[in-house]
Structure 1
Amino acid sequence: MRPTTRIAAGLLAAWAVHDLEEVLTMRRSAAGILPNLPAWVPIPEELRREGLSQRQINLAVTLMGVAIATASAAGVRSGCRSPLFRGALLGFGVHGFTHIAMALAARRYVTGVATAPTVVIPFWLWARRELAKAGIRDDDRAAVLAALAFLPVVPGVHAAAHRLLRRRRA
């Protein structure tokens, strides 16, 4: 297996480990966070009141998995040179720090904080180091723009899951 294939597949594997923690803990973690968000944060009132259902979490994680699998496949096909893959890698690594920042701000456990410093950030640093040996960076303009394009995907998959499940109930 080529080193770039290992790195591209590793993104999907690291994401899966991290998101398994989120599947197992997000419902409880969100129940303590959502009701305390400022009123200007645009979330449906029922989510603020009732939190996230496990079905919604599972569906959102699955939808995000499709995005990460697509980016990982682009990485395999391109030898990790695809801007989509490099942006997903950059976004994945940086997002690990957001979990840590949220836990520090909340002064308690928040979903994802256990695997952020143990899986997400170490994988990202290793992948960046290995790719740098091949002259591949994840902080050039194309990768940064691709990473920024991923920002709305996270709330987007939760919104899509909420709408799909609400439509199913109706």
Structure 2
Amino acid sequence: MINSSGDEAVGGAVTLGLLAAWALHDAEELVALPGWLRRNVPVLRERFPLVPEAVWRRAEAVDAREFTVAVGVMAAVVASAAAAGRLTGGRSSAYQTALDAFGLHGLVHLAQAGLLRGYTPGAATSPLVVVPFTLWARHRLRRAGVLRPARPRDVALALGLAGAATTVSHAVARRVVGAGRNAGARR
């Protein structure tokens, strides 16, 4: 399909596919993370003694409800980026940055699993879904003539976006779950 500017347009599989690939990946994390943290934080605390104790306490405090809310917040971020990509035929910088962040996020999962020499939540779908989808979508964007040239600052921006979106998602989740706990305590 050719769009009005003469470029090959990218379809929903490339743009909205980001949301679908993300949903598959985060389903793995939703199922695995709470139990994995419970089982592994004590071992990790001993293995990595230079990590501040506050980090381990925060990891132990994440429960399934909070994590589920954080995933829901992130779903809104990813859905917005995917929609922006769809509306612009893949040209949206928000979409392309989110796509890059998703792919880099998958590489981080693989690095974590390698560092820990074992499974970490997200490591199963990263090589099967996250990285292949990202490479395929970038190829389709390039073929359509809409992929921005990759620059080192784009990598930094994508990693920063992923980190910021994760931080905000968890902050919102802590507030929502905490507000629910406080409301229940007042009854």
TM-score (ref. length: structure 2) = 0.79
Q: Does 1:114 align with 2:121?
A: no
Alpha-carbon distance between aligned partners in 2 of 1:72 and 1:103, rounded to the nearest angstrom: 28
Return the index of the structure with the highest Cα Rg: 2
Which residue of structure 2 lines up, in the alignment, with residue 82 of structure 1? 92
Q: Is the 8 A contact 1:87 1:142 kept in 2?
A: no
Q: State the match for 1:16 in structure 2.
A: 23
* Partner SS for 1:152: helix
Aligned to 1:162: 174
Q: Is 1:95 the counterpart of 2:102 in the alignment?
A: no
The residue identity in structure 2 corresponding to 1:85 is: Y
Counterpart Cα distance in 1 of 2:121 and 2:65 = 16
Q: What displacement does 1:61 show? A: 0.5
- Identify the range of structure 1 (142-151 vs 70-79) with the bigger mean alpha-carbon deviation: 142-151
- Counterparts in 2 of 1:141-152, with a 5 A limit? 144=155, 147=158, 148-152=160-164
TM-superposed deviation, 1:33 = 4.9
Instruction: Note the alpha carbon deviations across 1:53-86, whole angstroms, 9 max, x for none.
Output: 1111110110000000000000011111001000
Structure 2 residue 136 is matched with structure 1 residue 126: yes
Gaps in structure 2 of 5+ consecutive residues: 2-8, 183-187
The letter for the 2-side match of 1:20 is A
Q: Deviations over 1:92-128 (max 9, x none)?
A: 0111110010011111210000000000000011111
Q: Which amino acid aligns with 2:10?
A: P
* % identical equivalent positions: 35
1:55 aligns with 2:65: yes
Unpaired runs of 5+ residues, structure 1, are none
RMSD over aligned CA atoms reads: 2.3
Aligned letter for 1:15? W
Supply the distance in 1 between the matched residues of 2:53 and 2:169 (Cα, whole angstroms): 17
Structure 1 position 135, deviation (Å): 1.5
- Does structure 2 conserve the Cα–Cα contact (< 8 Å) formed by 1:63 and 1:157? yes
The count of corresponding residues between Structure 1 and Structure 2 is: 168
